[in-house]
Amino acid sequence: MRLISFYLISCLSIVSIWVAATGGVQAAEPPAKPNVIVMVSDNQGWADVGFHGSRIKTPTLDRLAAEGVRLERFYAYATCSPSRAGLLLGRNPSRYDILGAIGQRSLQAIPKDSITLARAFKSRGYATAISGKWHLGLRPEVGPLQFGFDYTYGCLHGQIDPVGAKRYKNGDRTWHRMDQFIEESGHVTDLIVDEAIKVIERWDDRPYFLYLPFNAPHGPFAGEREWAEPYADVFAEPSRQSYAGAVTHMDHSIERVIEALQRTGQRDRTLVVFLSDNGGVPEHESSDNYGGRYGPYPVLADNKPLRGWFGEVYDGSIRVIALANWPGVLEPRVVDEVTSVLDLYPTLIGLTGRGVNETVGLEGRDIWGLLTGKGSAPPEGLYWKTSKQFAVLVAGWKLIVDRRGGKEELYHIEEDPYEKVDVAAQYPDRVRRLQRFLDQQRSRDPDRSKD
């Protein structure tokens, strides 16, 4: 408890010192072939970070946001697997019929011939590693080693017992190294960061792409008591305390990664990107409890003031926390333009000195100009498809279509960012134009008979 308090106070002091000492720092040209680390949190609510006003302590993320670029209108997808597919494939996950979380004993996986972000980096001389949650194929034969990663560690499934047998909720093994199941003791948040630090130390003489997708703050929350204790007087509901502890535990682990970069002299040549895969899960939803060992968890994340929850296509689910940090290269700034997880692939690969072959079929844009403030990126429409809904966002207007009954909702996001007023009846022409864009996007998806 004292250790955690000291950590929180120290990190917050660092933020204060930085704010007082900086100003007028000029961004430099990026070095050739920088290291790239992409961190992803799991089911973190929009409001559950300090720089969005949360009472949950995230001093490391707050500092990275203050020093770097905050992407305040950054969109991902409604659930875990689609966002990961969009990140690593650079295409809408619906193109692969990935509409929701891959779970249970599903055989679904991304195509083996996919030119993943890892494969693209590898073709440019990078070492590649993943430490954490894969969730794009649940069996070793479709694990990350098959998709361009030189080193793999973590879990194949989307959910895991964090301190016990490291198994999925149905009892299947999922914890692996090099796509081979292993037994491991310790908390998953600590284990994946321990492994990430080993990668950083091992590859300090070559450029690398390190993918660090956390399980936190996804339930269950075993092993988080030490981290949850400081929230006993902050939140009334014990499950909210546990969730908050998991967020702070993750934040502390990110600080360990940053310290490793500094210790090895890599910090100034490493771009760090952080995002959540989707918004938080609803209040009063109990996480799967592993036969009664964990939960229930009646209160978890907070997406306010955004509307909606995990699994929906309202912004509380698909508009997520995101930032990019690179000392001496990216100046502190806030980007309010719409950006997307699909933009990361072309942007990150562009830093290697070689663009992306058009045959890869990427759907995002290179947004480096937006990150540096030295350029722009042409706006593009965004498209979402889940098992229940469609949505498109074009030029500040968002159309949502219910797949079961066909009900249409229209929101002017520029004027109504919290999606409170459905104006579909007032703007039928706008609805029709957005519907045409939606139809164009649907035509690119496989097996439209399911629609």
What pLDDT does residue 27 have? 43
Helix (H) or strand (E) holding 91: none
What pLDDT does residue 356 have? 77
Beta pairing partners, 340: 75
What pLDDT does residue 447 have? 74
Tokens read off for 276: 């959540």
Spatial distance between the Cα atoms of 402 and 391, rounded to a whole number of angstroms: 9
pLDDT tens digit sequence for 256-307: 999 999 999 999 999 999 999 999 998 655 556 687 788 889 999 999 999 9
77: closest CA among 216, 212, 279? 279
Tokens read off for 106: 């599903």
What pLDDT does residue 165 have? 80
- Four-way CATH pick for 2-372: 3.40.47.10, 2.60.120.260, 3.40.720.10, 3.30.360.10: 3.40.720.10
Spatial distance between the Cα atoms of 398 and 409, rounded to a whole number of angstroms: 8
Q: What is the pTM of this model?
A: 0.92
Q: Do domains 2-372 and 388-450 have the same CATH topology?
A: no
Would you list the domain boundaries of the chain? 2-372, 388-450
Amino acid at 58: T
What pLDDT does residue 392 have? 98
Amino acid at 303: N
What pLDDT does residue 1 have? 46
- Coil vs helix vs strand at 127: strand
Helix (H) or strand (E) holding 382: strand 382-385
Give the class (CATH, top level) of 388-450: alpha beta
What does the radius of gyration of the chain's CA atoms come to, in whole angstroms?
Answer: 21
Q: What are phi and psi of 274, to 5 degrees?
A: -130, 140
Ranges under pLDDT 50 in the chain: 1-28
Place of tokens 């910090």: 267
Tokens read off for 79: 């659930």
Exposure string for 132-156, b = 16+ CB within 10 A, e = fewer: bbbbbbbebebbbbbbbbbbbbbbb
Strands 408-412 and 397-402: antiparallel
What pLDDT does residue 147 have? 97
DSSP state at residue 173? B
306: closest CA among 417, 211, 181? 417
What pLDDT does residue 288 have? 61
